[in-house]
Homo-oligomer: A and B are copies of this chain.
Amino acid sequence: MIIVLGKASEKQVQQILDKIKEKGFKPHVIQGSQKTVIAVIGNNAAAFIEEFRQMPGVESVAQVSAAFKLASKETHHEKTSIKVGSEVFGKGNIGIIAGPCGVESEEQTLNTAKALQPLGVKFFRASIFKPRTSPYDFQGIGLKGLEILEKVRSQYGMAIETEVMDVRDVKPVSEVVDCLRIGARNMQNFDLLKEVGRQEKPVILKRGLSATIKEWLMAAEYILSEGNNKVILCERGIRTFETEARNTADISAIPLVHLMSHLPVIFDPNHSTGRKDLILPLSKAAIAAGADGLLVEVHEHPEKALSDAKQQFTPKEFAQFLQEIRPIAKAVGKTII
């Protein structure tokens, strides 16, 4: 059960909390930037919906059978749309995020941004920290990359995002970027989820390689339960027995998220496949299946990239890609760039 508070006095809040405990349930108070919500944990809480609804200070009460309460469609029937800079995810929009896998240098980053701006790209991606399987591979440029990303925003008017991996970096990064990203390997790094949950900035939450949809939504719940309700889910491929592509793009995850949650869900065709020749057909599929956006890697010179060299588009290829996905977006009644 979820209790949404209206303009409740401190005393009223206390009375509500007391009643929750009195009934044998556990309250979890979520101080959002706009509203305060209390998740009521325990079985059969739904039996007392009416009783809570009539208490002073309560705006509304919703029954939620799912373990993920704030992320559930039961709490929030209408789809949530999230705006980052001037790009919108949800409500008939297909948001596009593009940029290189990593910030390698100021030149490479700004050149890529310069090439993307005329294509209509309003949201720029680039990692300053790189989660690499090997400790001997390029680990990212680090915090000094933030200045470069700021230049992308000031010079090309784009919103910027980057991945955070270490809880200690969340605050300094959050102060600069427009959106945080949690990578697949950290989907169940719960301390990191709580930390980004305490920030004001939207968060792109990638699905873990072997995470079920429910676990993914529970990970989103960690962020929401700290008060940050701007979570954009991102499907990026799961691990299966098939070896033809690096991962298996789980396109079914997109409609499943829409059936289970109100949060927007985007698709990352690069990490879903690891193959350049699959990016276009699977991006089309994702849009047709209802994706609210795409996260695409574009590098000014992919062949020189320090990571993901084989799967990044050139700006020219990306322009062509945008041309080819537009008819699909139109066919499902959505707008793209």
Contact = CB atoms under 8 A, between A and B. Distances in A.
Given A136-B41, A288-B288, A212 B250 contact: no
Given A210-B209, A241-B210, A218 B252 contact: no
Contacts of A77: none
A288 B287 CA distance: 9
A249 B249 contact: no
B248 A240 contact: yes
Contacts of A132: 190
Interface in A253-283: 254-256, 258-259, 272-273, 277-278, 281-282
A241 B240 contact: yes
Given A168-B168, A285-B285, A288-B281, A252 B273 contact: yes
A136 B225 contact: yes
B259 A26 contact: no
Interface in A215-270: 215, 218, 221-222, 225, 238-245, 248-252, 254-256, 258-259
A290 interface: yes
Contacts of A139: 190
Interface string A193-224: 01000000000000001101111001001100
Nearest to A166: B191
* Max count, chain B CB within 10 A of own CB: residue among A39, A135, A251, A255: A135
Contacts of A222: 135
A165 interface: yes
A332 B239 CA distance: 29
Interface in A146-183: 165-168
Interface of A: 26, 28, 39, 41, 67-69, 131-136, 139, 165-168, 185-186, 188-191, 194, 209-210, 212-215, 218, 221-222, 225, 238-245, 248-252, 254-256, 258-259, 272-273, 277-278, 281-282, 284-290, 327-328, 330-332
